[in-house]
Amino acid sequence: MPLSKPRLVQTVQHRVPPLHRADLAGVLVSETDLQKRIAVMGRAISKDYAGKDVLVVSLLSGTVLFLADLLRRMSFPLRVDFLGVSSYGAGTESGDLVFTKDLRLDVRGVHVLVVDDILDTGKTLRAVTGKIAALRPASLRTCVLLDKRERRIESIEADYVGFRIPNLFVVGYGLDFAERYRNLPFVGVLRPEVFEANARPERKGPR
Ligand code: PRP
């Protein structure tokens, strides 16, 4: 169970900024709602970790925007490191995981908080927590902005969850399709015709 209750998001707003109307069917989480929720998450995390030696481990690349905003809401001394991990594969399922960058800092004996943008099948978080746990941190918790629980294959939950969302192809606020859309300041829903027209066998499909 998450340590705080995630916000449930079920409805898509169909007012999309004109620039993105051709690609996006709607906005799932607005910029305002993201920032409000991240402020709440940051306060909860700050309370839980007060006085501890904390290392935030951010998973590249989807977490960049979320991490930047969350860090500004964490009001305690901490260090940050990055772990590169990607899933590649054809079709609509996550493929094999590849670690593309290792940690630089030593995690042994420190309190580790892993931050990721989305928890989907759970394969990424399962592999990452397994790898970090083997390095003997003092504690290990996880924090995700979005949780697409319907898609879970691994039995894993995050400790801090921003929003629980339906099974839609989401992009923006760090999340990509074929490496695009990461810079949108909100979480949007990609039109099916966009990913169907652009699906390439070497890239992961809808998640
Ligand atoms: C995405 C996302 C998560 C992972 C979640 O990463 O950032 O890390 O998938 O999926 P899972 O729960 O099914 O494992 P991706 O491999 O697409 O790389 P990216 O972060 O560079 O976009």
Residue type, 92: T
Two tokens, residue 17: 């900024």
pLDDT at position 207 is 55
Q: Is the CB of 172 under 6 A from ligand 1?
A: no
Catalytic entry in 23, 69, 117, 120: 120
pLDDT at position 205 is 47
Does the CA dihedral 163-169-173-177 come out positive or negative? positive
Contacts of 52 by beta carbon, 8 Å cutoff, 6+ apart: 76, 111, 138
Least Cα distance to 60 among 199, 176, 188, 201 occurs for 176
User: Which mean pLDDT values do the consecutive 10-residue runs of the chain (207 residues) have?
Assistant: 82 86 95 97 97 97 97 96 82 72 97 98 97 98 97 96 96 96 96 82 48
Two tokens, residue 139: 């504690």
Whether residue 23 lies in the annotated active site: no
pLDDT at position 93 is 53
- The residues pairing with 112 across neighbouring beta strands, listed in sequence order, are 55, 140
pLDDT at position 106 is 97
Q: Is the CB of 157 under 6 A from ligand 1?
A: no
pTM, two decimal places: 0.92
Tell the residue nearest (CA) to atom 7 of ligand 1. Answer: 62
Tell the residue nearest (CA) to atom 13 of ligand 1. Answer: 121
